[in-house]
Amino acid sequence: MSIYLDNAATTRVCPEAAEAAMEAMTLSYANPNSPHAMGRAAKALMERGRERVAKALGCDKGELYFTSCGTEGDNWALRRGAEYNARHGRHILSSEAEHPAVIRTLDELEKRQGFTVTRLKPAPDGSVTPDAVLDALREDTCLVSLMTVNNETGAVTDIAAIVREVKARNPHTLIHTDAVQAFLKVPLNARSLGADLITLSGHKIHAPKGVGALYVRRGLNLPPLLTGGGQEEGKRSGTQAVELIAAFGAAAEAGARSFREDAARMAALREHAVERLTAEVPGLLTIGGGAPQILSISLPGWRSEVLMNYLESKGISVAKSSACKKGGRSQVLTALKLPAPVIDGAIRVSLSRETTAAEIDAFCDALAEARRTIRGSVR
Ligand code: PLP
């Protein structure tokens, strides 16, 4: 038996995406920038992928540039967004609960390029409130970067409200959101969100690893991060991974088709898990919440690794916190000022549209059993 509950780390490639990749790899395999007939066929496949992802995000296809991953999108948006807008000032506003792709990049901008970064403390669930942003906003704030859904706690930040309020006071401030965990999990529409820059990643929505996209609002002339052959309208050089892009498009279309039902079903399963665990596992805490696919819990007095090993012995895969961090305490949970035993006993359970009620029940059974069987420091 194998139960995969680590979908915030990555998802299984869906059949639609695998089929699209296969077609691109075996039939339309030419370079999409070659002018001959086979090149044009590959380009058509790539552009269909772009249209599909754009439709799922609610933007024009001309506003979407393909990248190699979410990390690249975050780096591009922050490095070039900050430089481009530095004429308005060198202050950047972000939070302590961002993904390392944002945190490390902002650290560099601060250390090497003379930007000043204000890192907001998140609310207890891991989200950031519009009031906190407005309080810290300055005349010289060139860039605001906040994630839409927190990858560790599932907390949802109201980016649309933040965009409205920041732009009302500082129309020149650029707003970036890392929506890697939000896309096709919570309602997300580029137009109604109003952000200037939005990062997406394919492998969180049942496309393969190695493809992402950056939405750049029309009219914003963001300089490229990668320079070279001038692909992607000169914005992102490097031969496009047609097979991955075609798969990303197919996965986005499939995900958008069943988005409402999937989100409702995951939210109900998550709720069911919370109810069962609260009733059956003494001392269990839930952390954050909001997005339907992420359930962050802690059993203070029991170490995450021990719980994970127990679950693994039952064929169940979950995460300690984020998959992107090796060792050490979770920066996000630390930023929430949770006591050490809560952080050290935290595990992240993450669902996908494929997750079944039987799998969630098996997980709840196994965790309750772990609590009864393993000796923790609390009895
Ligand atoms: N941003 C968030 C919120 C994520 O959860 C992740 C991946 O876990 C990333 C960025 C990085 O995406 P990728 O793995 O495609 O580089």
> Does the structure show a pLDDT above 80 at 377?
no
Active site residue 324: yes
Which range is least confidently modeled, 18-27, 143-152, 317-326? 317-326
Helical ranges in the chain per DSSP H: 15-26, 37-57, 70-84, 100-113, 130-136, 159-169, 190-193, 242-257, 259-280, 304-313, 331-335, 340-344, 357-373
Residue labelled with tokens 């906040």? 146
Query: Per-residue confidence at 227, pLDDT binned at 50, 70, 90?
Result: very high
Judgement on whether residues 289 and 235 belong to the same structural domain of the protein: no
Assign 330 to helix, strand or coil.
coil
Q: Do the domain assignments include residue 295? A: yes
Q: Do the domain assignments include residue 378? A: no
Which range is least confidently modeled, 37-46, 234-243, 253-262, 329-338? 329-338
Q: Which two tokens stand for residue 58?
A: 């609610």
The domain boundary, picked from 235, 257, 279, lies at: 257
Query: Which has the higher per-residue pLDDT, 334 or 194?
Result: 194
Q: Which two tokens stand for residue 230?
A: 């001038």
- CATH code at position 274: 3.90.1150.10
Q: Is 201 in the pocket of ligand 1 (CB under 6 A)?
A: yes
Residue to probe by mutation, ligand 1, list 95, 180, 322, most atoms within 8 Å of CB: 180
Judgement on whether residues 245 and 294 belong to the same structural domain of the protein: no
The domain boundary, picked from 257, 273, 306, lies at: 257
Q: Which residues pair with 175 in a beta bridge?
A: 144
How many beta carbons lie within 10 A of that of residue 234, not counting itself?
A: 12
Judgement on whether residues 276 and 252 belong to the same structural domain of the protein: no
Closest to 92 (Cα-Cα) out of 222, 63, 102, 100: 102
Q: Which two tokens stand for residue 232?
A: 């992607």
Assign 88 to helix, strand or coil.
helix
Q: Counting beta carbons within 10 angstroms of the beta carbon of residue 264, is it exposed (0 to 12), middle (13 to 18) or buried (19 or more)?
A: exposed
Judgement on whether residues 62 and 208 belong to the same structural domain of the protein: yes
The domain boundary, picked from 218, 239, 257, lies at: 257
Distance in angstroms (rounded) separating the CA atoms of residues 207 and 209: 7
For residue 202, the ligand 1 atom closest to its alpha carbon is 15
Judgement on whether residues 68 and 193 belong to the same structural domain of the protein: yes
Q: Do the domain assignments include residue 50? A: yes
CA angle 92, 98, 104 (to 5 degrees): 70
How far is ligand 1, taken at its centre, from the CA of residue 182, in Å?
11
Q: What are phi and psi of 83, to 5 degrees?
A: -65, -45
pLDDT tens-place string over residues 6-59: 999 999 999 999 999 999 999 999 999 999 999 999 999 999 999 999 999 999
Q: Do the domain assignments include residue 350? A: yes
CA angle 268, 302, 98 (to 5 degrees): 60
Judgement on whether residues 276 and 253 belong to the same structural domain of the protein: no
Q: Is 71 in the pocket of ligand 1 (CB under 6 A)?
A: yes
Judgement on whether residues 89 and 47 belong to the same structural domain of the protein: yes
Q: Is 69 in the pocket of ligand 1 (CB under 6 A)?
A: yes
With contact defined as beta carbons under 8 Å apart, do 2 and 12 qualify?
no
Distance in angstroms (rounded) separating the CA atoms of residues 117 and 109: 8
pLDDT tens-place string over residues 77-117: 999 999 999 999 999 999 999 999 999 999 999 999 999 99
Query: Which has the higher per-residue pLDDT, 378 or 78?
Result: 78
Select which of 14, 59, 142, 324 is catalytic: 324
What pTM did the predictor assign? Answer: 0.97
Q: Domain containing 25: what range?
A: 15-257
Judgement on whether residues 204 and 289 belong to the same structural domain of the protein: no
Q: Which residues pair with 164 in a beta bridge?
A: none
With contact defined as beta carbons under 8 Å apart, do 59 and 190 qualify?
yes
How far is ligand 1, taken at its centre, from the CA of residue 105, in Å?
13
Judgement on whether residues 298 and 241 belong to the same structural domain of the protein: no
Judgement on whether residues 88 and 171 belong to the same structural domain of the protein: yes
> Does the structure show a pLDDT above 60 at 184?
yes
Residue to probe by mutation, ligand 1, list 6, 10, 67, 71, most atoms within 8 Å of CB: 71
Closest residue by Cα to atom 12, ligand 1, is 70
- CATH code at position 22: 3.40.640.10
Judgement on whether residues 56 and 155 belong to the same structural domain of the protein: yes
Q: Do the domain assignments include residue 379? A: no
Q: Which two tokens stand for residue 277?
A: 């665990």
Q: Which two tokens stand for residue 78?
A: 């922050």
Q: Do the domain assignments include residue 19? A: yes
Q: Do the domain assignments include residue 289? A: yes
How many domains are contained in the chain?
A: 2
